[in-house]
Amino acid sequence: MITSPKTTLVLGGTGRTGRLVARGLAERGYAVRTAGRHGADVAFAWDDPTTHRAAHADVDRVYLVTPVARTRFVEAVAGFLDLAVDAGVRHVTHLSTYGSDRAPPEVDILAVERDLVGRGTISHSILRPAWVMQNFADDHLPIVDGAIVVPTGGGAEAFVDAGDIAAVAVETLARP
């Protein structure tokens, strides 16, 4: 049952999980707007705040994928969330990462989570998946000297299907 006539904004909407989140919500009858720099419903670039306001039009939920392949992004995300709250967003599902809750607070991955949790006017879901299986299907994990090397400390490491992450995200966005 559709409980909101408004739109869900899906950041990283052309990416591994974002495109699946968008598809899953649309299949359940929700209005969805994908965002990204190329080929999305709305042009959105983390480095260009002028693109952020249009993305939020008539939006009440957000799938938050933070800037990828960067270490410093908490301020950009905070500005984005300020705008989201002003625009009427009431729920954010955030794609974080495995182990973020054990990171030092000055690490932006955890700082973004804390910012989100501290915002009293919106609800949130924080997803902390391990490595995504689809990393094996592109150049995310390069082959070095004939081996795929990941920082597991020599221990066993689970990989998760992006489809399973997206399925959880869809549930949290459909029923915040």
Q: Say how far apart CA 135 and CA 174 lie, in whole Å.
A: 27
Size of the site for ligand NAP (CB under 6 A): 25
Nearer to ligand NAP, 4 or 164 (CB): 164
Choose which of 7, 8, 16, 24 interacts with ligand NAP (CB under 6 A).
16
Measured distance CA(175)–CA(121) in Å, rounded: 17
Site for ligand NAP in 65-94 (CB under 6 A): 65-68
Q: How far apart are CA 57 and CA 43, in angstroms?
A: 13
Contact 59, 90 (CB under 8 A): no
CB of 3 to ligand NAP, least distance (A): 26
Output the smallest distance, CB 2 to ligand NAP, in A. Answer: 25
User: Smallest gap, in angstroms, from Cβ of residue 133 to ligand NAP?
Assistant: 8
| CB of 77 vs ligand NAP, minimal distance in Å | 10
Distance CA 47, CA 42 (A): 15
- Considering the rule CB under 6 A, would residue 44 count as an interface residue with ligand NAP? yes
Contact 86, 121 (CB under 8 A): no
Number of residue whose CB is nearest ligand NAP? 15
Dihedral of CA 71/158/153/127: which sign? Answer: positive
Structure tokens at 15: 């990416």
Establish if 12 lies at the interface with ligand NAP (CB under 6 A).
yes
Letters for 102-131 (x = contact with ligand NAP by CB under 6 A, - = none) are: ---------------------------x-x
Instruction: Mention every residue, 6+ apart, whose C-beta is less than 8 A from residue 22.
Output: 10, 13, 32, 34
Does 24 bind ligand NAP (CB under 6 A)? Our answer is: no
Q: Which of 167, 100, 158, 170 is nearest to 132 (CA)?
A: 158
Binding site for ligand NAP (CB under 6 A): 12-18, 36-38, 44-47, 65-68, 95, 97, 129, 131-132, 135, 140
